[in-house]
Structure 1
Amino acid sequence: MEKQIDNKHIACKHCDLLISKTALLPGQKAHCPRCGSRLYFVSRSSPSAILALCLTALILLVPANIYPLLSLTMVGITDSVSLISAVEKVYQEGDQFIALLILLCVTLAPALMLLALASASFCISFNLLTPILKPLLKAVDVMTHWSMLEVYLVSFLVALVKLVDLGDVHLGLGLVCFIALMLVNSMILSVYDAETYWNKVKVDVIR
């Protein structure tokens, strides 16, 4: 994240250049004049739109975890693997830490992040400036760093390439839902303007 100095100044997170903040219109982005990295922006999406995206992602999260990612047929035997069953197999093989890490980064962290952001968006959409808004936004920030859907998908595709030579591979509904979940999650993070949400917390404190 960018380094917030005060309400009027901001420091670039890449080159530490101190810059005066200016008001932006929805959809505009402020970039560092030295290194060109994005400093802050004002999202076009309203909290109600982000709430809808979060609910969509939460719905996709269920089939992405329980439906088969793929089915592998070898010597007449077919075995289907879902995300949850894959975590269970890794755990049973003795790699408990790896299994718990996968469960945290691919299932628990995304779910908690989406639930927290959906709750915060609901509160802001209906002007429910409750004390719970601040911990919700903190949870969004923490869980965003632990959510690693893209990393898991890349690892899965690497493993898929190796499995193709071992037998007949059929992609499952779980993989389709997982890819859709990753795309919706990426869309949420690209339009989520944390500063706008935190400004609501400041308004509530002033009141």
Structure 2
Amino acid sequence: MAMNKYNETLVACEHCDLLQVKQRLQLGQIATCPRCGSRLYFNSSCSPMSMLALTLTALILLFPANLYPLLSMTMVGSTETASLSQATLKIFHEGNYFVAFLIFFCSTIAPFLMLLSLCCASFVISFNLQTRWLKQLLKWVDYLTHWSMLEVYLVSFLVALIKLVDLADIELGVGLVCFCLLMIINSLVLSYYDSNSYWQRVPIDAVS
């Protein structure tokens, strides 16, 4: 964003670079680009305190989603369970180190750090705490959002599940329920997170 000679705030579309004068929005309103129709900015109806509650819930769900079995599979009288962490370890032991690291980072590390950073930033803003760490926290949120790919792994799991149904008896586990809830809450967090309003809370002496 920038200021023109009339002291109006200008905002550029991230997709087509069209400059627009930023208007004041009502709570929950969304401003879209007149050229390409993409979202420019919005006035989120989710307060920092509500965002704090959402991120805390997601962080709690992250652990059972990774540790509890996604499903149990019975084939020829033998039953095996599989969780996301077990699948990652199996890929690692098979020698696919890079793939295992990528799965672990994008499904566990990146979502955890992103949610933790946003949780801390929401806590700082909600209670009007003064800290120079707010700027760094928001930078981590912006960067790690692109690496959090929970939806991709859920779709991959569903595709594999459809193929396994004809080969074995499948029973869905608690881990899958937690993972679906985590994905829904994570989607809500990303939808309601208004980075502009958060960055406006960063102390002026911390901006460089």
Bin the TM-score by the shorter chain.
over 0.9
CA contact (8 A) 1:129 1:200 kept: no
1:52-67 to 2 correspondences below 5 Å: 52-67=53-68
**Which residue number corresponds to residue 201 of structure 2?**
200
Does 2:19 match 1:18?
A: yes
Quick one: distance in 1 between partners of 2:63 and 2:145? 19
Aligned to 2:41: 40
Q: Deviation at 1:137?
A: 0.4
1:161 correspondence with 2:144: no
SS in 2 for 1:44: coil
Structure 2 letter corresponding to 1:35: C
Amino acid at match of 2:127: F
Q: Deviations over 1:43-74 (max 9, x none)?
A: 01110000000000011111101100011111
Give how far 1:38 is off: 1.1
Check conservation: 1:74, 1:167, Cα contact below 8 A. yes
Indicate the residue corresponding to 1:150 in structure 2: 151
- The offset of 1:14, in angstroms, is 2.1
Q: Residue 203 of structure 1: CA displacement?
A: 4.7
CA distance in 1 between counterparts of 2:63 and 2:127 reads 27
Give the fraction of aligned pairs with identical amino acids, expressed as a percent.
62
- Is the contact between residue 72 and residue 79 of structure 2 (CA under 8 Å) also seen in structure 1? yes
Partner of 1:135: 136
Q: Which runs of 5+ in 2 are unaligned?
A: none
TM-score, normalised with respect to structure 2: 0.94
C-alpha distance in structure 1 between counterparts of 2:176 and 2:15, whole Å: 36
Contact 2:135 2:206 in 1 (8 A): no
After TM superposition, the structure 1 stretch with the greater mean CA deviation from structure 2, 7-16 or 37-46, is 7-16
Normalised by the length of structure 1, the TM-score is: 0.94
2-side partners of 1:179 and 1:128: how far apart?
Answer: 34
Which runs of no fewer than 5 residues in structure 1 stay unpaired? none
Tell me the distance in 2 between the aligned counterparts of 1:107 and 1:87: 11
Q: Does 1:189 align with 2:190?
A: yes
Q: Distance in 1 between matches of 2:87 and 2:138?
A: 31
Shift of 1:111: 0.4
Q: 1:125 and 2:161 equivalent?
A: no
Distance 1:134 1:5 in 2: 19
Kindly indicate whether residue 85 of structure 2 is the aligned counterpart of residue 84 of structure 1: yes
Q: Which moved more, 1:129-138 or 1:195-204?
A: 195-204
Count of residues in Structure 1 that have an aligned counterpart in Structure 2: 203
Kindly indicate whether the alpha-carbon contact (under 8 Å) linking 1:66 and 1:83 is maintained by their aligned counterparts in 2: yes
Counterpart CA distance in 2 for 1:197 and 1:204 is 16
Aligned-pair CA distance for 1:204: 6.0
1:133-160 superposed Cα distances (whole Å, 9 cap, x missing partner): 0110001111111000000001111111
Counterpart secondary structure, 1:201: coil
Give the ranges of 4+ consecutive aligned residues of structure 1 lying more than 2 Å apart after TM superposition: 4-7, 202-206
- Contact kept? 1:129, 1:201, Cα under 8 Å: no
AA matched with 1:39? L
